[in-house]
Every structure is written in structure tokens, then in C-alpha cells.
């Protein structure tokens, strides 16, 4: 079996659902159920003995030791993190605790466990660390896309905490020989994406007739990847990645934010027309994010060359599926928009 951390969040839940649909290998899913973690994402696995959910914290060493001893996973896939840049600006402490201290705790537990293994079990054990392209910093308009050897230049508390965790993972391989792999992926989108991030926030606000907040001039560029393509990349790395190696994962799909917002408005106009007029009437430019990175772009040639991975979805197919999913899952959106969510919206948008 494999141990997944953060498997009740956006990407982790998609990974667990896809894994059990394609691999039939049991998963122990450790998640602290922060505001971003949601058991409802895993509702279709109720009663499935291949999924063992454990409510707990990656900073809890005793718990991780117990899970490793009890379940003897052949791999750890580490998603758990605080993941939202705007939240890291308002309150960086939790990012340092989960992303840095949590990754450290997990690495130490994995090292102790791995050192006690023998033969084939020791040789094939893997620790896969899920990271982000944001560790590389911001690109100018004509700069080449990020390769795996790009210098680290993190600019937000979030990306600095992820960069720190990447460095720990690297050092645990270099110093102790722990068989780690790391993926640095671009922006994901798709089902179960928490509506604090751009794409689900725009869909949720549009359907509620609320302003669609575009930071600054809306010309910041992100490289969007449909979430199930990220999941297939991680499976490819687990299957055939080389310990100690880093793989950049991206969708070959750079788009300015304002284009994303206009595309969402056009799709909603088609799929759920509003009698009041096009959703684009709600687009509202607001104050920029402090330290806002201008452009991210991933050069994903290494993972294609070495592991044969390429995204299956184009942006056109992925974004249409995503809008259709949100239209069909308005209950899910309503449930995650709890009191805590409303407090966040108040904190992040009222003063803008
Ligand atoms: P998310 O915020 O949706 O989910 C994070 C999950 O981790 C939640 O279920 C939360 O409950 C859990 N968690 C948080 N702190 C924990 C702790 N201390 N112990 C145990 N569980 C804890 O995040 P996501 O968007 O699914 O991102 C998953 C991973 O992928 C993160 O490491 C993130 O840095 C990385 N990543 C995300 C993107 C993206 O576009 N969302 C892109 C590249 C990489
Ligand atoms: P986000 O989804 O928070 O991802 P990240 O900051 O990790 O790239 O934001 C994507 C882009 O959209 C980013 O450039 C910030 C911008 N943005 C807005 O313009 N308005 C918003 O309300 C949000 C949440 C993001």
C-alpha cells in the first residue's frame, strides 16, 4: 500500500480517487482536515476497504511512526501543505509549521522506517514530494520556461516555505540516501478545487452574481494543468522516476489571468446563461497582491523524455469539464463556503 498525506485536499483527493480507479493498491490517507481538507471529496470511497482515512497532523511524529509500522507502505506521496499564496501573506506562521516542520517530521519518520527495511523493500521504497513551480520565482515575458536546474528565487511566504521543504527533501537524499523524488508542478485546476483559488472563485462568484476580482492589471501569466494530468505525472514518477531526481510538470499552457476570467465567463454564458446579461459584466479590477509574481512557465521536457509523460487534456477540454463539474456540484460549493470561508473572503477582498 501507499501512504498519502493531504489526501482530503484538492490535488490529494483527486490523486487518491484516480489511484484507486487505476491501480487497485490500498491507500492510507493522513490529513489534518484544515479548512482546505474535506471528507466530502472522498465520499465515493465510503465503505471501500482499500481506503483508510486517518485524521491527523504531519507534525505528529509518533502518529507517523505508528502508521509506517502498522501499514508498511512501499511509498509515501506527500501533498499535505498550506497552499494559498494570499493566506500566506496574511498569516505565514502556519505555512512554516506545516510546509517546513511537517515535511521535516515526515522525512525523519521516513528515514527511520526506511533504514529499518531490508532487501527489495528497502531498494524499492520511495518518498515522493509534491511541490510547485513557484519556488523558481517570477519570469520576464521573454525568459525561457523553468527547467529543473533553474535557481530557486521564491518570492512569497508560501513559495519560500515550499522551497525550504524542497531543500530538506534534497538534503535527506544527499546525506542519508533516502530514495526521494520531487515534482514541481504548475497551477492545477479541476474538480474539488477550493473556491479561494482563481478558477473556482470566479465560477462561484459569477453564479452568485458577485464581483469577479482581478488583481492588478490581470496580465499575470500562469501555466495551467488539469489536475488528473498532475496525478498521472506523479504515478509515472512513482513507477519509473530515479531517486534524487526532480521532475517539472506543466501543461504547456500559459495564459494571462484576464483571459482565464473571460473564458470562464464565456463558458458560463453558454452553459448557464444569466438573464441579467453576460457574466463578464461582473469583472472588477482590484488592488494587486503584494509581491505578485508576473509569470510562471514550466519546461516539462524532462519528464516527457525520461518517463514518457504528457498531459492528456488540452485547456479547452479541461476548462469545459471543470465548469460543468462546478455546475453539477453546487452543493459541494455551498458546503465548503462555511463561516470560516466567509471570514476569509471578508479579510482578503473587503480592503482591496
Ligand atoms: P489544498 O490546500 O487543497 O490541500 C491541502 C491538504 O493538506 C488539505 O486536505 C489539508 O487538510 C491538508 N493539511 C494541511 N496541513 C496539514 C497538516 N499539518 N497535516 C496533515 N494534513 C494537512 O492543496 P492542493 O492545492 O491540493 O495542493 C497539494 C500539494 O500540491 C501542496 O503541497 C501544494 O504545494 C502542491 N501544489 C499545488 C498546486 C496547485 O495549483 N494547487 C500546484 C503545484 C503544487
Ligand atoms: P491562485 O489561484 O491564488 O494561484 P497562485 O497564486 O498560486 O498562482 O491565483 C492565480 C492567479 O490569479 C494569480 O496571479 C493571482 C490571481 N488572482 C486574481 O486575480 N484574483 C483572485 O481573486 C485570486 C484568488 C487570484
Give yes or no: 158 in active site.
yes
User: What's the rounded Cα separation, in Å, for the pair 250 and 239?
Assistant: 19
Tell how far the Cα of 299 is from the centroid of ligand 2, in angstroms. 21
- Whether residue 28 contacts residue 72, with contact meaning beta carbons closer than 8 Å, is answered with no
- Whether residue 82 contacts residue 99, with contact meaning beta carbons closer than 8 Å, is answered with yes
Secondary element (H or E) of residue 21 = helix 10-22
Question: Is residue 20 in contact with ligand 1, taking CB distance under 6 Å?
Answer: no
Residue nearest to atom 4 of ligand 1 (CA): 9
Closest ligand to C-alpha of residue 9 is 1
CB-based burial label for 119 (10 Å; 0-12, 13-18, 19+): exposed
pLDDT for residue 14: 98
User: Does 3.30.1490.190 match the CATH number of domain 2-193+224-253+292-313?
Assistant: no
- Whether residue 36 contacts residue 83, with contact meaning beta carbons closer than 8 Å, is answered with yes
Residue nearest to atom 19 of ligand 1 (CA): 57
CB-based burial label for 216 (10 Å; 0-12, 13-18, 19+): middle
User: What's the rounded Cα separation, in Å, for the pair 209 and 190?
Assistant: 22
- Whether residue 39 contacts residue 33, with contact meaning beta carbons closer than 8 Å, is answered with yes
Residue nearest to atom 28 of ligand 1 (CA): 79
Residue with cell 476497504: 49
* Dihedral Cα 324, 327, 329, 332, nearest 10 deg: 120
- Whether residue 19 contacts residue 25, with contact meaning beta carbons closer than 8 Å, is answered with yes
- For residue 177, the tally of other CB atoms under 10 A from its CB is 13
C-alpha cell at 257: 489571468
User: What's the rounded Cα separation, in Å, for the pair 67 and 347?
Assistant: 37
- Whether residue 121 contacts residue 74, with contact meaning beta carbons closer than 8 Å, is answered with yes
Question: Is residue 106 in contact with ligand 1, taking CB distance under 6 Å?
Answer: no
Question: Is residue 134 in contact with ligand 1, taking CB distance under 6 Å?
Answer: no
Q: Where are the beta strands (DSSP E) in the chain?
A: 2-5, 27-31, 51-55, 75-78, 126-132, 180-185, 188-189, 212-215, 221-223, 225-226, 246-249, 254-256, 283-286
Backbone angles phi, psi at 337, to 5 degrees: -85, 65
User: What's the rounded Cα separation, in Å, for the pair 171 and 187?
Assistant: 26
Helix then strand then coil, in percent of the chain rounded to 5, is: 50, 15, 35
The pTM assigned to this predicted structure is 0.98
Question: Is residue 57 in contact with ligand 1, taking CB distance under 6 Å?
Answer: yes
Q: Where are the beta strands (DSSP E) in 33-179?
A: 51-55, 75-78, 126-132
pLDDT for residue 351: 84
- Whether residue 87 contacts residue 138, with contact meaning beta carbons closer than 8 Å, is answered with no
Active-site choice (134, 166, 254, 313): 134
pLDDT for residue 48: 97
User: What's the rounded Cα separation, in Å, for the pair 247 and 118?
Assistant: 27
Closest ligand 1 atom to residue 12 Cα is 26
Closest ligand to C-alpha of residue 14 is 1
pLDDT for residue 20: 98
pLDDT for residue 338: 86
User: What's the rounded Cα separation, in Å, for the pair 150 and 3?
Assistant: 30
Which of 191, 254, 151, 168 lies closest to 44, judged by CA? 191
C-alpha cell at 298: 514550466
Backbone angles phi, psi at 8, to 5 degrees: -105, 0
User: What's the rounded Cα separation, in Å, for the pair 253 and 222?
Assistant: 8
CB-based burial label for 331 (10 Å; 0-12, 13-18, 19+): exposed
Q: Which of 11, 14, 41, 246 to mutate to test the pocket of ligand 1 (most atoms within 8 A of CB)?
A: 11
pLDDT for residue 339: 81
Question: Is residue 102 in contact with ligand 2, taking CB distance under 6 Å?
Answer: no
Secondary element (H or E) of residue 285 = strand 283-286
Closest ligand to C-alpha of residue 294 is 2
Residue with cell 500559459: 254
Per-residue pLDDT of the chain (352 residues; tens, 9 = 90+): 999 999 999 999 999 999 999 998 999 999 999 999 999 999 999 999 999 999 999 999 999 999 999 999 999 999 999 999 999 999 999 999 999 999 999 999 999 999 999 999 999 999 999 999 999 999 999 999 999 999 999 999 999 999 999 999 999 999 999 999 999 999 999 999 999 999 999 999 999 999 999 999 999 999 999 999 999 999 999 999 999 999 999 989 999 999 999 999 999 999 999 999 999 999 999 999 999 999 999 999 999 999 999 999 999 999 999 999 999 999 999 999 988 889 999 999 998 8
Q: Is 222 helix (H, G, I), strand (E, B) or coil?
A: strand
Tell how far the Cα of 136 is from the centroid of ligand 1, in angstroms. 18
Amino acid at each position: 500500500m501507499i501512504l498519502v498525506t493531504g489526501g482530503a485536499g484538492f490535488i490529494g483527493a483527486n490523486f487518491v480517487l484516480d489511484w484507486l480507479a487505476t491501480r487497485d493498491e490500498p491507500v492510507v490517507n493522513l490529513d489534518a482536515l484544515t479548512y482546505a481538507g474535506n471528507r466530502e471529496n472522498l465520499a465515493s470511497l465510503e465503505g471501500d476497504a482499500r481506503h483508510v482515512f486517518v485524521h491527523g497532523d504531519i507534525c505528529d511524529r509518533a502518529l507517523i511512526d505508528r502508521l509506517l509500522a502498522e501499514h508498511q507502505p512501499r511509498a509515501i506521496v506527500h501533498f499535505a501543505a498550506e497552499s494559498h499564496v494570499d493566506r500566506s501573506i496574511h498569516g505565514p506562521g502556519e505555512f512554516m509549521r506545516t510546509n517546513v516542520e511537517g515535511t521535516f517530521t515526515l522525512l525523519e519518520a521516513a528515514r527511520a522506517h526506511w533504514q529499518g527495511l531490508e532487501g527489495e523493500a528497502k531498494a524499492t521504497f520511495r518518498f515522493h514530494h509534491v511541490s510547485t513551480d513557484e519556488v523558481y520565482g517570477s519570469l520576464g515575458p521573454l525568459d525561457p520556461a523553468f527547467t529543473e536546474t533553474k535557481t530557486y528565487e521564491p518570492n512569497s511566504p508560501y513559495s519560500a516555505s515550499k522551497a525550504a521543504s524542497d531543500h530538506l527533501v534534497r538534503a535527506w537524499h544527499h546525506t542519508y540516501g533516502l530514495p526521494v523524488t520531487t515534482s514541481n508542478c504548475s497551477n492545477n485546476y479541476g474538480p474539488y478545487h477550493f473556491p479561494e483559488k482563481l478558477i473556482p472563485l470566479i465560477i462561484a462568484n459569477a453564479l452568485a452574481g458577485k464581483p469577479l476580482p482581478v488583481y492588478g492589471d490581470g496580465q499575470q501569466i500562469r501555466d495551467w494543468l488539469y489536475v488528473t494530468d498532475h496525478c498521472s505525472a506523479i504515478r509515472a514518477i512513482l513507477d519509473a522516476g530515479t531517486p534524487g531526481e526532480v521532475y517539472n510538470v506543466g501543461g504547456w499552457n500559459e495564459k494571462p489571468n484576464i483571459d482565464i476570467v473571460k473564458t470562464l465567463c464565456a463558458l458560463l454564458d453558454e452553459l448557464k446563461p444569466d438573464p441579467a446579461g453576460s457574466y463578464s459584466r461582473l469583472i472588477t479590477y482590484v488592488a494587486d497582491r503584494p509581491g505578485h509574481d508576473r509569470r510562471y512557465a514550466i519546461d516539462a521536457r524532462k519528464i516527457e523524455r525520461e518517463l514518457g509523460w504528457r498531459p492528456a487534456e488540452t485547456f479547452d477540454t479541461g476548462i469545459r469539464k471543470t465548469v460543468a463539474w462546478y455546475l453539477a456540484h453546487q452543493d459541494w460549493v455551498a458546503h465548503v463556503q462555511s463561516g470560516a470561508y466567509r471570514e476569509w473572503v471578508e479579510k482578503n477582498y473587503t480592503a482591496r
